Amino acid sequence: MAVNIDTDMCVGCGACVDACPVGALSVEDHAEVNEDECVECGACVDACPCEALSL
Ligand code: SF4
Ligand code: SF4
């Protein structure tokens, strides 16, 4: 399990990358999660301005 990313909602701003305490997120055209690293803390969900992330 890991955070879910709605790639249609994501604008690639990078706020979630900065918010993630374990470095599980990266951004190319849109956010991507390393499912092995995500601990489902929810910090990125709160940080995203576009409601693109969910747990
Ligand atoms: S839920 Fe937490 S650990 Fe997982 S990607 Fe988001 S900020 Fe990182
Ligand atoms: S904070 Fe939201 S909109 Fe910004 S890169 Fe992350 S998922 Fe995409």
CATH of the domain at 34: 3.30.70.20
Query: Ligand 2 center to residue 35 CA distance, Å?
Result: 16
**pLDDT tier at 1, thresholds 50, 70, 90:** confident
Tell me: the pLDDT tens digits for 15-48?
999 999 999 999 999 999 999 999 999 999 999 9
Task: Look up the pTM and report it.
Answer: 0.95
Quote the pLDDT of residue 40: 98
Indicate which atom in ligand 2 lies nearest the CA of residue 19: 1
Q: Which pLDDT value is given to residue 51? A: 98
Q: Structurally, how many domains does the chain consist of? A: 1
Task: Supply the range of the domain harboring residue 45.
Answer: 4-54
Protein residue with least CA distance to atom 7, ligand 1 = 20
SS3 for the chain is: CCCEECCCCCCCCCHHHHHCCCCCEEECCCEEECCCCCCCCCHHHHHCCCCCEEC
Residue nearest to atom 6 of ligand 1 (CA): 44
